[in-house]
Amino acid sequence: MNIIETHHLTKTYAGFTAVSNVDLHVPKGTVYGFLGPNGAGKSTTMKMFLGLTKPTSGDFVIDGKKYPQDRIRILKEVGSFIEAPSFYGNLTGEENLDIVRRILGLPKSAVDDALELTGLSKWRKRLARKYSLGMKQRLGLASALIGRPPILILDEPTNSLDPVGIHEIRTLIRSLPEKLNCTVLVSSHLLAEIELMADNIGILNQGRLLFEGTLEELKQEGKLKGYPTDNLEDTFLAIIEQDNMHRGGGRPYVNEYGVRV
């Protein structure tokens, strides 16, 4: 059963197509890795799910509820972490979460629960401005997790973290479906990172969905097309570069270090 489905979902801005006819299928109770280079359209897709920007055409269904008629009901079921989290630096982590709790009309125990889930209970009384980057990311996740929503939408939650921080956040995300009986849609531009936590993946490039399925299915498709498959990151990069070449741009994929691959 799919908890998120899109049908020809499209978003254009003044002639530029950010998302083009995307048909996405996110199985319930899984971690779904949403992959693509920076600027591929991942964040735009997630913002459409959250009602932060309207689709130009197409539609989507989340947990049986259709946008736009069920927009408010959808939002009540979704916890989100989009771009860098922002907080009131002069308030503690606990106080920041309490603002979210009151907006959502949740019991006071929801703050304790979110702090416990993200390992922040020990630092609940510390001012948010004194949190490390990793702790701020955890506080962002706590804000998304508060009230234990059945669906989580997380946009590059490990961005800018050091290896230890990445491992901690990745381990937490991997545990969430079993721990909270929820579904997680998490975006990244690094397959190596998603490979360690996702059940299914979708690969987006220049607004188009190039692949959707399991990691094993990605490997099999790579073999059929003659792509390198010893390392799935190489398979991902080959798919992206082939799509860029097919579009006539001849534009290679450049990784986060500025190296052509």
Three-state secondary structure of the chain: CEEEEEEEEEEEECCEEEEEEECCEEECCCEEEEECCCCCCHHHHHHHHCCCCCCCEEEEEECCEECCCCHHHHHCCEEEECCCCCCCCCCEHHHHHHHHHHHHCCCCHHHHHHHHHCCCHHHCCCEHHHCCHHHHHHHHHHHHHCCCCCEEEEECCCCCCCHHHHHHHHHHHHHHHHHHCCEEEEEECCHHHHHCCCCEEEEEECCEEEEEEEHHHHHHHHHHCCCCCCCHHHHHHHHHHHHHHHCCCCCCCECCCCCEC
Per-residue confidence (pLDDT) for residue 255, from 0 to 100:
44
Instruction: Report the pLDDT averaged over residues 147-168.
Output: 88
Question: Does the structure show a pLDDT above 80 at 196?
Answer: yes
Give the position of tokens 């979110």: 114
Is residue 61 situated within a structural domain? no
**Distance between CA atoms of residues 37 and 40, nearest Å:** 5
Is residue 44 situated within a structural domain? no
**Distance between CA atoms of residues 197 and 195, nearest Å:** 6
Let me know: does 11 contact 199? Beta carbons within 8 Å: no
**Distance between CA atoms of residues 216 and 199, nearest Å:** 10
Is residue 27 situated within a structural domain? no
Is residue 111 situated within a structural domain? yes
Let me know: does 146 contact 98? Beta carbons within 8 Å: no
Instruction: Report the pLDDT averaged over residues 162-189.
Output: 90
Average pLDDT of the chain, as a whole number: 90
Instruction: Report the pLDDT averaged over residues 15-24.
Output: 94
Per-residue confidence (pLDDT) for residue 162, from 0 to 100:
83
Question: Does the structure show a pLDDT above 60 at 257?
Answer: no
For 127-154, the pLDDT digits (tens) are 999 998 888 888 999 999 999 999 999 9
Confidence of residue 206 (pLDDT cuts 50, 70, 90): very high
Instruction: Report the pLDDT averaged over residues 195-208.
Output: 94
Is residue 198 situated within a structural domain? no
Is residue 108 situated within a structural domain? yes
For 75-125, the pLDDT digits (tens) are 989 999 887 778 999 999 999 999 999 999 999 999 999 999 998 999 999
Higher pLDDT: 260 or 150? It is 150
Per-residue confidence (pLDDT) for residue 249, from 0 to 100:
55
How many structural domains compose the chain? 1
94 CB-contact burial (10 Å; exposed 0-12 / middle 13-18 / buried 19+): buried
Is residue 167 situated within a structural domain? no
Let me know: does 79 contact 147? Beta carbons within 8 Å: yes
Question: Does the structure show a pLDDT above 60 at 35?
Answer: yes
Provide the pairing of β-strand 25-27 with 208-214: unpaired
Is residue 179 situated within a structural domain? no
**Distance between CA atoms of residues 114 and 117, nearest Å:** 5
**Dihedral (Cα; 56, 58, 61, 67), 10-degree rounding:** 40
Range of the domain at 98: 79-149
Question: Does the structure show a pLDDT above 70 at 251?
Answer: no
Confidence of residue 256 (pLDDT cuts 50, 70, 90): very low
1 CB-contact burial (10 Å; exposed 0-12 / middle 13-18 / buried 19+): exposed
Give me the phi and psi of 81, to 5 degrees please. Answer: -140, 95
